[in-house]
Amino acid sequence: MANNRINKYIGAMVLGTVMIAVPSCTDTWDDHYNNEPGSGATLTLWDVIQDNPDYSRFADIVKHAKFYKDDTHEVSTYTYEDILKSSQVNTVWLPDNSVLTEEEYKKWMSLLDESRADGSSLGGYNVQHQFLGNHIALWRHNVSGPGVDTVKMINGKNIEFDKTNLMFANVPLGEDYNIPTVNGVVHVIQGIAPFRENFYESLKFAETQTKFGKYVVNRDTTIFRSSESIEGLPDENGNPTYVDSVYRTSNRLFSTTYYLPSERSEEWQMAERGFGAYINNEDSLFVMLMPTDVAWDAAYEKLKPSHVYATQYEDKSKGDQNAKAADMKIQNLDADSLQKISIEMDIVSPLVFVLRKQPKRNGEIWTREMFKQYKGDGGNPDSPDEYLLNTFNDTLRNIPNGVWDKTSLFDGTEAVEMSNGLAYEVNSWNFPSQYYTPDVEVEFENWSVFYNQLGNNFKVGTQTGRIPLSNKTYQEVTDKYGRVSNNNFFFFDKPSSSQAKVEIKLVGNSDNAYVPNAQVMSGKYDIQVVMVPLWYMELSDGDVDYADEEKADSAARVNMNKFKVQLCYNDNGSSDKKTSAKTITYDAKKVDTLTVIPDHEFKYSYKNMRYSYPTLIIEGGATSTDLKKGYKSGFAIDKIILRRKD
């Protein structure tokens, strides 16, 4: 990942580059220029550069380098000589012949001579982007007192100009600086300003991340911008033509989410995740894991068993109470293609971290140097609250008892300084299994968790709803008999003529889970229901001291529950398969996690499937005989957990 892969930069793309003005080539200047000491500046930047034999190599490159609007569109009649003698004000940090050696000079000139099959320059853009654009900035930047300025160069890079110590990009200024001209200023420097790639540029021409780089570059999208183009005369059919066409190239991965229509079905769409970050943005500061081909292959094999897909799924957004299951079935899907898409996006999407958004380390905001030293260790490695935060706000936490240390993500590699952050090229894949195959936690925070289509599996009484309960207010009770998550639980009231019955979407929604938006994947799970004693609904009654164990036991004996559970899941059949109904007994003595269906193996993954998910049907099961024994027909649930078994 060296920063000097000049010859690899054929056709490199710049997004967000500061574009310099392209003035008319008919500008006129005085025939005579005078820049003698004590007089006002009368020479242009170009005159100062070409008139000094010590600058001849830089001048020769300037004279022959065409101006590029983007990586493939040069202005064939306009060179950097024209720019430096135009009315546009620029500052030039100029390496003279003592540092721009014959070898260095020939390297840049040879790039200018390379050409494509159509005759256009092959390397000219690279000269602009990596060399000239790295030494020229818009406007005047004089040494006028102490201080450090961050200068936006015309190639879009941010370079520090240390006026206190007379340094530019850590290269010392020479004796000649603040040379005034009518259109800017020249500073002679004692070296060449190093060109640093940003993350996108590095990936586009990666030598050891070819699979990762190819994945990224294949998502480049170039569009024609008519509003920015100069329109000419219409053609013979009245259609507009353009004398100057402007194209903008971006990358779909820079967005958080986009949709790829399946080639096998016009109806099905699969949400594809990107980086959620503009990794070409020079004004941002990222940390990024960059897997080599070895790490890419290791990750693919690691994720393959949990990313097994069916050829048909139920699209549950299309059902209603009169629909038939067959009407909702999306068929003839390419399972292998779905697997490949899902695995690759799951490799790519979590790789970017915004440095300044990381939880502070011992109260300090993260800097590059801190991150290079501590690699994401928040200062308290024993605390599960310390974590890395990627651009999706996924919490890559330390796991108690040393099962996984988040800093292991960066094992075996040192940070490489990029123009917009730190890159870690990794040969191993050290994301924890808890991240890729997390538990699925369903909180009953609102009504959106219930599925009420096809079977009409939603029958509850009028008192059904969320019950607030402050764990802190009733700490003496909740410390002894169990806390409820998020200080609330859900009560299901019995309807007048039948048992309460609900069908729950098994899609993660708990903010406190390792992965809040977790989806069921192929593999084994224990399906658990966290039950809440009905007497918790009476904690606000000050007449009853439920902290007293005898009173709590007495309340439990008349608040027991029986309920039935059925799991609905994809078995690649004509409709989702249901397990046999299973009756569960709950003694109501404490907040209790009951494993209602152990070791269930889901054959197929739902990860990244937009509208498909398994469901769990829960129905009250207390008979009239049970009611006489102290059972209640209503029941209360804190949440549902699908606990991953591997």
Compute mean pLDDT per 10 residues along the chain, 646 residues long, and list them.
Answer: 36 38 37 39 90 92 81 72 89 93 88 59 75 92 89 90 92 92 93 90 75 85 63 69 64 75 56 84 90 93 95 77 60 88 91 87 86 78 68 76 76 88 91 90 90 76 92 91 94 89 93 88 97 88 70 89 95 86 95 97 91 93 91 94 92
CATH code for 197-219+251-434?
2.30.180.10
Report residue 631: phi and psi, to 5°: -85, 155
User: What is d(CA 156, CA 214) in angstroms, rounded to the nearest whole number?
Assistant: 24
Supply the DSSP symbol for 305: G
Beta strands, E only, 215-368? 220-224, 230-231, 242-244, 247-251, 257-261, 269-273, 286-291, 313-314, 329-330, 352-354
CATH architecture label of 440-644: Sandwich (2.60)
CB atoms within 10 A of CB 209: 24
Residue type, 368: R
Nearest to 298 by CA among 161, 106, 427: 427
Q: Which two tokens stand for residue 92?
A: 């030039």
The region, left, alpha or beta by phi > 0 then psi within -120 to 50, assigned to residue 197 is: beta
The per-residue pLDDT for 116 is: 47
Work out whether strand 421-426 and strand 286-291 pair parallel, antiparallel, or are unpaired: parallel
Identify any residues that bridge with 330 across adjacent strands, giving them in sequence order.
Answer: 313
Element (H, E) at 459: strand 458-459
Supply the DSSP symbol for 499: -
The per-residue pLDDT for 122 is: 55
In angstroms, the first-to-last Cα distance of the chain is 36
C-beta separation of 622 from 634 below 8 A: no
* 3-state SS, residue 83: helix
The per-residue pLDDT for 36 is: 38
Question: What secondary structure does DSSP assign to 524-566, as a single string?
Answer: EEEEEEEE--GGGGGTT-TT--TTSHHHHHHHHHTSBEEEEEE
CATH 1.10.600.10 matches 6-195: no
CB atoms within 10 A of CB 480: 12
446 burial type by CB count under 10 A (0-12 exposed, 13-18 middle, 19+ buried): exposed
| Lookup result for tokens 């974590």 | 387
User: What is d(CA 191, CA 102) in angstroms, rounded to the nearest whole number?
Assistant: 14
* 3-state SS, residue 91: strand
The per-residue pLDDT for 73 is: 65
C-beta separation of 482 from 589 below 8 A: no
The per-residue pLDDT for 33 is: 34
CA distances, 603 to each of 369, 435, 518, 595 (Å): 46, 20, 17, 20
- Count of CA atoms in the C-beta half-sphere (13 A) of 246: 10
On the question of a common fold for 6-195 and 197-219+251-434, the answer reads yes
Supply the DSSP symbol for 132: G
Work out whether strand 242-244 and strand 230-231 pair parallel, antiparallel, or are unpaired: antiparallel
Work out whether strand 136-138 and strand 148-152 pair parallel, antiparallel, or are unpaired: unpaired
Q: Which two tokens stand for residue 322?
A: 């009169």
The per-residue pLDDT for 11 is: 34
Helices (H), 357-490: 368-374, 433-436, 475-481
Residue type, 174: G
The per-residue pLDDT for 231 is: 64
Query: Is the whole-model pTM more than 0.85?
Result: no
Identify any residues that bridge with 244 across adjacent strands, giving them in sequence order.
Answer: 230
Element (H, E) at 172: strand 171-172
Q: Which two tokens stand for residue 320?
A: 């209603």
- What are the structural domain ranges in the chain? 6-195, 197-219+251-434, 440-644
